[in-house]
């Protein structure tokens, strides 16, 4: 069955088979493109990839950590957000290289030997190092294979990195809590140190004051000891004089006793001599008695001011001898007094008794002389000791003065220490209050957020995004229009002989193409709905845009062929290529983007995108398609009108040749 539609470049009639072919062309184009490219993430299992795990596990706190094995398991298990996963094979380096070369594997992921060591290098004591994995694809890999492999591998690596970061940060946050507790303990210790240092400073100040007083006492002791030495020298001199007098007394008394015994009478003057002896003995007893208590006190206090035990012993002995000499002097004075009294009262009959008493007095005087000699020697030794004591006390006073200066410096230093310790304690209190504290659950939750602080919502898994279907549908309908005027005649061959207006002839060529374009648009929308399953309301708008685009593309392609002939089909192909080039990625050069925005494919794409998404511009897209349709029809009409003018060359070409 034939139709009254002119075929392009042939006078054969158009059949229904030709019409069906023209109608199905965009359906086949659109169906193939949608089936091959739409949502490739759902068919990841058709790609084969190998995992080469060369990682060597590390040991942390006595526990093996095989992160390479964990990453391999994560790649094989896939993600909950993606419906499918690559077909992974655990392999070795040689097999992976061979499979990559012969096409068995579309990608190879290699986990190096130091992966675990590098991934855990952030632990205390380690040198931080970034863990790396290597992704290899064959040179003849498909256009998007690298992107798919990189996306899947990067997702797995990112998840593992987030887990490692979470563990690390959790330890850090718990470390904050521990640090805060330790700073609190340090602050308490610093407060105790400050209190102790303050007390020590008070003690050091008191020590400095005490050393000053002790130094003054030692200086006084040195002066007193020097004076004591001088006094003891005087006492020693007097004591020796007394000893000499006692010796003379003893000699005189013995001589008197001998004379008395020889004469039997008391000689004249003996009584006065006895009186003089008694007075001398009494004076010696008084002087010696005055020295004896002083020496006793010095002997008692010697151990508290002198470090020379021999000197203290000598002083004690001198004190004892002085006491004994004083007692002897008292006895001699008493005996002399008795003798003097007796001599004045008794007569010659008592001569024998007096001789005995005189001899007793002489013995006492002799004993007194010996005691006074020992006392003089002891007193001289005491004087030497007192002088040595004075020298030692002077040295002690100098040392105490130095100790006092040191004690003053110590007090100043300990006071500074106390102030510094107090400042340290206050600073540690502030630091302890400033350091955050977390429970285990709080640390875990915070580490989870900090390890992955930014998340995305609403990002689809399709590598082509929401614009894929509008772009593919636009291309299918555009090349459907190109195919339509490969089969149909754009401008009627009967234009030269027809009496119909040029606009009507142009419309007769457009009408079947427009009908085919409308059917093509409806069928392409149906294929898209089968593949994507859009909401019926959105799909209805999309289907309407497809019908309008099919009609508009038919009009534009008719005009291109009518105006430019065969070159018009070349231009149409270039328009389709430009639409593809500028619709895949936004990084195309600005000149190409601006040129594409002026093409008839731009409003069709924008309208379909507005129908399927929340993007606006539906009205502008429809208006743009209608404008292009009108301009194309005008251009076709002008082209038809031009063909209705016969040129001489054309007439000669069809005229019969003369014989």
Full DSSP string of 626-657: HHHHHHHHHHHHHHHHHHTSPPHHHHHHHSPP
Q: What is the pLDDT of residue 161?
A: 63
Q: What is the pLDDT of residue 649?
A: 58
Phi, psi of 88, deg, nearest 5: -85, 145
Q: From start to end of 134-244, where are the E strands?
A: 134-136
Q: What is the pTM of this model?
A: 0.52
Q: How many CB atoms lie within 10 A of CB 322?
A: 28
CA 620 remoteness from chain centre = 57
Q: What is the pLDDT of residue 41?
A: 57
**Beta pairing class for 107-111 and 48-53:** parallel
Full DSSP string of 479-505: HHHHHHHHHB-SS-GGGTT--S-HHHH
Phi, psi of 347, deg, nearest 5: -95, -165
Q: How many CB atoms lie within 10 A of CB 141?
A: 16
Query: CA 240, CA 262: separation in Å to the nearest integer?
Result: 33
What is the crossing angle of helices 502-532 and 468-487, to 10°?
Answer: 140
Which H or E run includes 58?
strand 58-60
- What SS3 class is residue 3? strand
Full DSSP string of 541-586: HHHHHHHHHHHHHHHHHHHHHHHHTHHHHHHHHHHHHHHHHHHH-T
Query: CA 388, CA 298: separation in Å to the nearest integer?
Result: 14
Q: What is the pLDDT of residue 267?
A: 52
Full DSSP string of 236-277: HHHHHHHHHHHHHHHHHHHHHHHHHHHHSSPPTTHHHHHHHH
Q: How many CB atoms lie within 10 A of CB 43?
A: 12
Q: Which residues are CB-contacts of 293 (< 8 A; sequence separation ≥ 6)?
A: none
- What SS3 class is residue 94? helix
Let me know: does 8 contact 488? Beta carbons within 8 Å: yes
Let me know: does 547 contact 522? Beta carbons within 8 Å: yes
- What tokens appear for 577 in the block? 């290529």
Query: CA 585, CA 463: separation in Å to the nearest integer?
Result: 11
Paired residues of 110 in beta bridges: 52, 134
Query: CA 567, CA 304: separation in Å to the nearest integer?
Result: 133
Let me know: does 572 contact 482? Beta carbons within 8 Å: yes
Q: Which residues are CB-contacts of 503 (< 8 A; sequence separation ≥ 6)?
A: 633, 637
Let me know: does 159 contact 75? Beta carbons within 8 Å: no
Q: What is the pLDDT of residue 184?
A: 72
- What SS3 class is residue 91? strand
Let me know: does 45 contact 85? Beta carbons within 8 Å: yes
Please choose, from the candidates 328, 446, 302, 454, the residue with its C-alpha nearest in 3D space to the C-alpha of residue 381: 302
Question: Angle 346-351-356 (CA atoms, 0-180°, nearest 5)?
Answer: 115
Q: Half-sphere exposure (CA, 13 Å, Cβ side) for 332?
A: 36
Q: What is the DSSP letter of 127?
A: -
Residue in the block written with tokens 């285990």: 440
Q: What is the pLDDT of residue 268?
A: 52
What is the block-wise mean pLDDT of the chain (659 residues), using blocks of 10 residues? Answer: 53 59 63 60 73 87 81 76 72 90 87 85 69 78 63 66 58 60 74 80 78 72 69 70 71 71 57 64 70 72 66 75 72 68 56 69 72 71 71 74 77 81 78 68 60 43 66 89 83 70 86 90 88 87 94 93 87 87 78 89 92 87 95 92 67 50
Query: CA 24, CA 524: separation in Å to the nearest integer?
Result: 9
């Amino acid at each position: 069955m034939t139709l009254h539609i002119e075929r392009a470049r042939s006078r054969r009639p158009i059949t229904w088979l030709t019409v069906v072919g023209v109608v199905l062309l965009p359906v086949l184009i659109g169906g193939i493109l949608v089936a091959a490219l739409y949502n490739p993430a759902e068919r990841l299992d058709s790609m084969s990839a190998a995992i080469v795990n060369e990682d060597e596990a590390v040991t942390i706190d006595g526990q093996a950590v095989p992160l390479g094995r964990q990453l391999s398991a994560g790649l094989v298990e896939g993600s909950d957000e993606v419906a499918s996963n690559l077909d992974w094979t655990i392999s070795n380096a040689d097999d992976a290289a061979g499979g990559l070369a012969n096409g068995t594997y579309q990608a190879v992921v290699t986990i190096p030997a130091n992966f675990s060591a590098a991934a855990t290098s952030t632990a205390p004591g380690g040198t931080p190092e970034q863990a790396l994995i290597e992704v290899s694809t064959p040179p003849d890999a498909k256009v998007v294979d690298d992107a798919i492999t990189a996306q899947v591998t990067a997702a797995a690596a990112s998840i593992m990195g987030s887990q490692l970061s979470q563990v690390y940060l959790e330890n850090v946050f718990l470390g904050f809590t521990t640090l805060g507790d330790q700073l609190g303990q340090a602050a308490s210790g610093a407060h105790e140190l400050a209190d102790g240092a303050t007390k020590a400073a008070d003690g050091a100040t008191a020590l400095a004051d005490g050393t000053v007083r002790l130094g003054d006492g030692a200086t006084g002791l040195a002066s007193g000891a020097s004076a004591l030495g001088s006094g003891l020298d005087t006492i020693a001199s007097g004591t020796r004089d007394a000893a000499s007098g006692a010796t003379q007394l003893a000699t005189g008394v013995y001589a008197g006793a001998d004379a008395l015994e020889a004469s039997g009478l008391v000689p004249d003057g003996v009584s006065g001599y006895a009186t003089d002896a008694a007075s001398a003995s009494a004076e010696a007893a008084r002087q010696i008695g005055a020295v004896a208590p002083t020496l006793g006190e010095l002997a008692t206090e010697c151990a508290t001011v002198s470090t020379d035990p021999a000197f203290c012993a000598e002083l004690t002995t001198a004190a004892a001898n002085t006491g004994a000499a004083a007692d002897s002097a008292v006895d001699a004075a008493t005996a002399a007094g008795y003798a003097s009294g007796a001599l004045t009262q008794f007569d010659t009959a008592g001569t024998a008794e007096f001789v005995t008493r005189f001899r007793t007095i002489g013995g006492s005087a002799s004993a007194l002389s010996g005691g006074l000699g020992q006392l003089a020697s002891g007193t001289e030794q005491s004087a030497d000791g007192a002088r040595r004591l004075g020298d030692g006390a002077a040295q002690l006073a100098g040392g105490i003065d130095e100790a006092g200066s040191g004690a003053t410096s110590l007090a100043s230093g300990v006071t500074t220490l106390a102030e510094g310790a107090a400042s340290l304690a206050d600073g540690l209190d502030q630091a302890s209050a400033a350091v955050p504290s977390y429970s285990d659950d709080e640390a875990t939750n915070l580490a989870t957020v900090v390890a992955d602080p930014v998340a995305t919502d609403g990002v689809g898994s399709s590598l082509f995004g929401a614009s894929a279907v509008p772009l593919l549908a636009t291309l299918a309908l555009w090349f459907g229009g190109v195919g339509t005027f490969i089969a149909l005649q754009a401008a009627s061959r009967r234009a030269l002989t027809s009496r119909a207006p040029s606009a009507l002839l142009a419309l007769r060529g457009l009408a079947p193409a427009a009908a085919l374009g409308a059917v093509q648009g409806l069928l392409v929308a149906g294929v898209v709905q089968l593949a994507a399953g859009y909401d019926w309301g959105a799909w209805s708008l999309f289907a309407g845009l497809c019908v309008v685009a099919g009609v508009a593309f038919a009009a534009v392609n008719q005009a291109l062929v009518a105006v430019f002939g065969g070159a018009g089909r070349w231009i149409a192909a270039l328009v389709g290529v430009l639409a593809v080039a500028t619709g895949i990625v936004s990084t195309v050069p600005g000149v190409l983007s601006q040129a594409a925005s002026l093409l008839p494919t731009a409003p069709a794409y924008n309208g379909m995108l507005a129908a399927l998404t929340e993007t606006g511009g539906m009205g502008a897209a429809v208006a743009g398609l209608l404008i292009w349709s009108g301009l194309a029809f005008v251009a076709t009409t002008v082209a038809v009108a031009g063909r209705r003018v016969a040129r001489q060359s054309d007439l000669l070409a069809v005229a019969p040749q003369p014989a």
